[in-house]
Amino acid sequence: MKIRELAVPGAWEITPDVHRDDRGAFVAHYVASAFTEAIGHPLRLGQNHHSVSRRGAVRGVHYADVPPGQAKVVTCTGGELLDVVVDLRTGSPTFGRWDSVLLDPVSCRAVYLEEGLGHAFVALQDTTVAAYLNSEEYHPAAEHEINPFDPALGLPWPDDMEHLVSERDRNAPTLAEAERAGVLPSYAVCRAPHRRGG
């Protein structure tokens, strides 16, 4: 398993070992010992879920209140998606920066993002399946969104497809609007549990 930090601190690309034979393939996206060694803390598991999306579906940019926040490991088990992580933490040296990773069931890559980071993806094929391991259970009142088409962010959505976006995401505030409203997570608060090794 190879784990490398992305351009957004607190987010990593995970490239697992894929064991293939004439039956198919076997892969582990999360191995606690390797994860903890590379990232510095284990993943607390609060919930797992998956979504199925049509080609062009854009989900996100979503984030949760910190604390407790919601860290997650995201994989693609069917189809193909472009996964995007956005630094939404006020006071972060990389505030507003994003990075992306192509996820599919052939490479079996995954993305891990810590609490306070924004997450989004676009499905590049019909019936794209994204699978998530989340550190916390879903709490609707603590969940928020940033407009995925905020021109100041300039996220890398392909222009060769129609984008399918929920009303919630279409009407979400821009990053600047959310910052002015004081609803974004703080970098210092987000990083504190990990500085303590928690």
Question: Does some domain include residue 39?
Answer: yes
- Determine which one of 62, 63, 144, 187 is catalytic: 62
For residue 187, indicate whether it is catalytic. no
Give the model confidence (pLDDT) of 147-184 as tens digits.
Answer: 999 999 999 999 999 999 999 999 999 999 999 999 99
User: What CATH number corresponds to the domain at position 119?
Assistant: 2.60.120.10
Question: Does some domain include residue 198?
Answer: no
Range of the domain at 160: 2-193
Give the model confidence (pLDDT) of 85-120 as tens digits.
Answer: 999 999 999 999 999 999 999 999 999 999 999 999
Instruction: Give the chain as a DSSP string.
Output: -EEEE-SSTTEEEEE--EEEETTEEEE-S--HHHHHHHHSSPPP--EEEEEEE-TTEEEEEEEE-TTT---EEEEEEES-EEEEEEE--BT-TTTT-EEEEEE-TTT--EEEE-TTEEEEEEESSTTEEEEEEESS---GGGEEE--TT-TTT-----SSSPPEE-HHHHTPPPHHHHHHHT-SPBHHHHHHHHHTT-
Question: Does some domain include residue 28?
Answer: yes
Question: Does some domain include residue 173?
Answer: yes
For residue 119, indicate whether it is catalytic. no
Give the model confidence (pLDDT) of 116-153 as tens digits.
Answer: 999 999 999 999 999 999 999 999 999 999 999 999 99
| Number of separate domains in the chain | 1
Structure tokens at 140: 């609707």
Question: Does some domain include residue 123?
Answer: yes
Question: Does some domain include residue 181?
Answer: yes
What pLDDT shows up at residue 84?
98
Give the model confidence (pLDDT) of 49-86 as tens digits.
Answer: 999 999 999 999 999 999 999 999 999 999 999 999 99
- Determine which one of 30, 41, 132, 194 is catalytic: 132
What pLDDT shows up at residue 192?
78
Q: How far apart are CA 53 and CA 126, in angstroms?
A: 6
What pTM, to 2 d.p., does this model score?
A: 0.94
